[in-house]
Structure 1
Amino acid sequence: MKKYLKIAAFLLPILIVWSCVEEFRLDADPPTVQDAGFSFVPSAESDNILDFIGDGDFFLMVWDLGNGVRTEGRRVTGFYPLAGTYTVTLTVYDRGGSSSFSQEVIIEETDPTLLDRPLFNLLTGGLDAINGKTWVIDSARAGHLGVGPADSFFPDFYQARPNEKVGSGMYNTRYTFKLTGFEFDWNTNGLVYLNGAQGSAFPGAFDPGVGDLSAPFNSPGGLNWNILENESPFPVLTVTNPGFIGYFTGVRSYQLVVLEENEMFLRFRDAANEALFWYVRLIPAGFAGTPDPEPEPEPEVPAVGISLQDLIGNGEKAWKLRPAAQSFGVGPSPGSDAFFPNGPSIAGDRPCLFNDLFIFKENGVYEYDAQGDIYAEDYMGLSGGGCQPEANLTGTVGAAWASGTHQFSLTPASGNTRAKLTVTGTGAFIALPKAYNGGEYTIGPPRANESVTYDVLDYNADTQELTLTIDITPNGAVWWTFVLIPAD
């Protein structure tokens, strides 16, 4: 049965203007003490773990949990392993200023085992790690920084190459998490790396020559971390202002996609563009790093063969995406869709993608026919996304990806070497415009007279299903796979 928690509420109105909220004008009424009110309840797990929620919802809500932890957000969780009285204060900010409200919380019994939690131990090294655990960006690994759409859990749009951001300050910063006092030691070594939209918040921001901005900045100290474990779809790690991890996009809360002994992979919002989520990958300082996955070994049986006649029929043959699951996806190996969409068919969501025709003709002629509509994405220079008229591409950076005629060649399978299908021309592609060998376009136009080569992963002569795959990394880490069938 839950122990009774004694609560003594008292009011501490505070009007503070921090540098981090200096953009708020003082020509409006500040929030009231009542606006800063909050409530809390013991968690289902323990009377020493309290779930707090603010009564209002403000742009900035800063909590002092009374246990040495400062954190942000409307909902937070406080851990109190030791018996005692703790004063919890919530300060809310709007354009008129700020106000605070405090309550005393009395924890009646000590629970010394409370901090022995798997996520806490992986992040900090546990109770025995007096100096905490220090993490750094895994700079030697492809994809240590990336960005993708908000409806995905993979950086589909961009993955940084190994050591691509040298000189930005990103690789010099050390992030130390301590279990004692939930301390977050943020050692920037004098330089931080920022999204271009965040430069105004950092005086002296400059172009480091590797994209976006860098700025001189040192941690003021006294920072904390906190984890909300019951969030969906991933637990959320938060660090206090002005701290951030890896690359600043205007937020300080990070979804823990992966947290293991030697790897932390974070997903976080872009405050300037709600359609984007960013990713950073970290490893413990001094750890050699997790090597990129080895390319999938070639099959020990002869590779799948496909002939020119299979491809062009009696002189001309049109193909389209098979409208079924696992016909269009991306994953860590050929044929996998584990990154997206991970199982379901997307044919119903993207009909304009599944009616495209890929036509192979005699004399190496290849024609792409979009059937009047395309699946629009930002890299094409189109806004709004989704199915749109093909005519919208006219005059954009993606105009070359519209219907057109190009060239193709087919290299037959030999021994263990897969057959290869290559299309050549400005904007030539099969199934997905942005994918090319070793990367993806983040913005058009496509390179002139570019060749894109797809491996033939499978061909079933009975069903005439043709499976193509393409590696968009330099080392076999991410593969797009497409299954084509003859068009009616």
Structure 2
Amino acid sequence: MKKISKYISFILPLFLALACVEEYALDALPPTEADANFTFQPTEENDNIVRFTADGDFFMMNWDLGNGQTAEGKVATGTYPLAGTYTVTLTIFSAGGSVSTSREVVIAETDPLLLDRPIYNMLTGGASAVEGKTWKVDASRSAHFGVGPNPVGAAGNFPEWYQAAPFEKEGSGMYTDRYTFFLDGFGFRMETNGFVYLNANQGGSFPGAFDPGVGDLSAPYTAPDNLRWSLVETEGALPELTISNGGFIGYFAGGRTYQIVRLEENELFLRFVDQSNTELAWYVRLIPEDFDPGAEPEPEPEPEPQNPDVSFTLDDLVGNGRKVWTLKPAAGAFGVGPNPGSDEWFPTGVDVSGERACLFNDLYIFNSNGEYEYDAQGDVYGEPYLGISNACQPESSLAGTAGAAWASGTHAFSFTPGTPTELPKITVTGTGAFIVLPKAYNGGEYEAGPPRENESVTYDVIGYDETTEELTITIRVASTSIYWTFVLIPVND
């Protein structure tokens, strides 16, 4: 007989004796408030760190610790740096329903040591910052705002599907809003300067919402006073920052909880899930209000190539008059990162040739007469900017879409030999001409088709192995350091 689950809080002893139970009885009684009783006491390490223990044991037990923290299970621990009274609630679930019990926890004294944490100090400026620390969206930086998949894709916590260009959302309200975090009382102040930027699906919640001309909506909004912030750190997960009801940061997509991807003295990079489409995660990057990125020391210039490591010629590219190339089916052959040759942001060392087989079978053909051919081999890897959804699908899906010009076709190319200070370059020219990734062009990425007419796209040759004939090319797609890199190998035509 299978062991009866402890999840069932009420069941007839006679029924236990006569039958094996695999599911909850339909007539199970709901739990009572007494079933959700709990006790609590300070831990030995600190009176402001409190351990809570439920009297019972149920299959689901959720805690609201009254300080912005939540927990699950029979035992939970809450940290309370500030003196005050906190309402702690335990909700239990049984076969018959759920019930909650709340108790007040009084913290007698503030513990400054619990407040002196690096993550608090970075966010608020620390105890000495009486006026708090004010942040603004880093409008001058590429990818200060963008969107990617939820759950996180192979690219990690990066807006791989769309990255805003510098000042792209000027006029939306995003760049004029300010966000101040105070350590004292965990206060939060949101200064909207008249209006805010929000997802188009949230317009119904903001009277007077209007089209700012840069996508989505803006709306007049004054944030309430006495807002608060809370922060929860869970082992193995990104810290979660929550703003109390009525406040938000940067761009409103329905929620007020943000994962902190990166927090440094002069950078706050947040990720948050779109509440109207939970398959999307938005990203926003902020800097302190008084921080001037231009005042920072200039980064060290990239060393000029000393040309011998990249000995690549036109004959290497076209062979005996016609040479066919394809992506190498291996890790590192397709990716994006902060430097040429890097795939730090996507796919972070993972071989994606299996899941994107329709990309790794594409052919890139160079002819000695200056003709360049792209052959998709009948299928493409779809993305929204092409006018089709993410996934491998027939190339015929592009017909009639804004991305149709990126289908198989013939274009022109030119080759620039390397010099002691310049890398060799391959340039493809034509409406929809590209190598490997249609959306990438010099200094940007298409958000939607069609491509510009008769566009030229230039790729730097950063590596060539004369023995294996592996060819590594890269393209910079932003004024800051964002590079796509591809490794090509020749195939028999």
- Answer yes or no: same fold by TM over 0.5: yes
Q: How does 1:46-65 map to 2 (within 5 A)?
A: 48-49=48-49, 65=66
Q: How does 1:66-465 map to 2 (within 5 A)?
A: 71=68, 78-81=78-81, 86-88=86-88, 102-106=102-106, 111-150=111-150, 151=153, 152=155, 153-230=157-234, 232-289=236-293, 296-301=302-307, 304-383=310-389, 385-465=390-470
Aligned match of 2:25: none
In 2, Cα distance between the equivalents of 1:40 and 1:122?
35
Question: 1:424 deviation in Å?
Answer: 1.5
Question: 1:259 deviation in Å?
Answer: 0.4
Question: 1:180 deviation in Å?
Answer: 1.7
Q: Is the 8 A contact 2:370 2:412 kept in 1?
A: yes
3-state SS of the aligned residue for 1:198?
helix
- Percentage identity across paired residues of the two chains: 59
Aligned match of 1:10: none
Question: 1:327 deviation in Å?
Answer: 0.9
Superposed CA RMSD in Å reads 3.4
In 2, Cα distance between the equivalents of 1:396 and 1:51?
59
In 1, Cα distance between the equivalents of 2:467 and 2:357?
26
Structure number with bigger Rg: 2
> Quick check: 179-188 or 284-293, which moved more?
284-293
Question: 1:156 deviation in Å?
Answer: 2.1
Q: Letter of the aligned partner of 2:199 in structure 1?
A: N
Quick one: structure 1 residues 232 and 389, their matched pair in 2 at CA, closer, same or farther if it must change by over 3 Å?
A: farther
Question: 1:149 deviation in Å?
Answer: 2.9
> Quick check: 271-280 or 256-265, which moved more?
271-280
Quick one: structure 1 residues 137 and 52, their matched pair in 2 at CA, closer, same or farther if it must change by over 3 Å?
A: farther
3-state SS of the aligned residue for 1:421?
strand
Aligned match of 2:26: none
Q: Is the 8 A contact 2:82 2:185 kept in 1?
A: no
Q: Deviations for 1:213-269, whole angstroms, at most 9, x for unmatched residues? A: 111101111211111111654211111112111111112111111101111111122
> Quick check: 360-369 or 390-399, which moved more?
390-399
Quick one: structure 1 residues 145 and 400, their matched pair in 2 at CA, closer, same or farther if it must change by over 3 Å?
A: same
Aligned length: 442
Aligned match of 1:12: none
Question: 1:85 deviation in Å?
Answer: 5.1
In 2, Cα distance between the equivalents of 1:458 and 1:275?
37
Quick one: structure 1 residues 447 and 221, their matched pair in 2 at CA, closer, same or farther if it must change by over 3 Å?
A: same
Quick one: structure 1 residues 109 and 443, their matched pair in 2 at CA, closer, same or farther if it must change by over 3 Å?
A: same
In 2, Cα distance between the equivalents of 1:451 and 1:40?
70
Quick one: structure 1 residues 128 and 206, their matched pair in 2 at CA, closer, same or farther if it must change by over 3 Å?
A: same
Question: 1:367 deviation in Å?
Answer: 1.1
Q: Is the 8 A contact 1:333 1:476 kept in 2?
A: no
In 2, Cα distance between the equivalents of 1:101 and 1:309?
78
Aligned match of 2:473: 468
3-state SS of the aligned residue for 1:165?
coil
Mark the runs of 5 or more structure 2 residues left unpaired by the alignment: 1-30, 92-98
Q: Letter of the aligned partner of 1:118 in structure 2?
A: P
In 1, Cα distance between the equivalents of 2:450 and 2:52?
49
Q: Is the 8 A contact 1:303 1:416 kept in 2?
A: no
Q: Is the 8 A contact 2:413 2:426 kept in 1?
A: yes
Q: Letter of the aligned partner of 1:452 in structure 2?
A: V
Q: Letter of the aligned partner of 2:357 in structure 1?
A: P
Q: Letter of the aligned partner of 2:488 in structure 1?
A: L
Q: Is the 8 A contact 1:381 1:396 kept in 2?
A: yes
Q: Is the 8 A contact 1:303 1:415 kept in 2?
A: no
Question: 1:78 deviation in Å?
Answer: 4.9
Q: Letter of the aligned partner of 1:137 in structure 2?
A: V
Question: 1:481 deviation in Å?
Answer: 0.4
3-state SS of the aligned residue for 1:113?
helix
Name the TM-score, length of structure 2 as normaliser: 0.80
Aligned match of 2:5: none
Name the TM-score, length of structure 1 as normaliser: 0.81
3-state SS of the aligned residue for 1:363?
coil
3-state SS of the aligned residue for 1:114?
helix
Q: Is the 8 A contact 1:33 1:101 kept in 2?
A: no
Question: 1:179 deviation in Å?
Answer: 1.4
Question: 1:157 deviation in Å?
Answer: 2.6
Q: Is the 8 A contact 1:176 1:185 kept in 2?
A: yes
3-state SS of the aligned residue for 2:359?
helix
3-state SS of the aligned residue for 2:219?
strand
Q: Is the 8 A contact 2:336 2:347 kept in 1?
A: yes
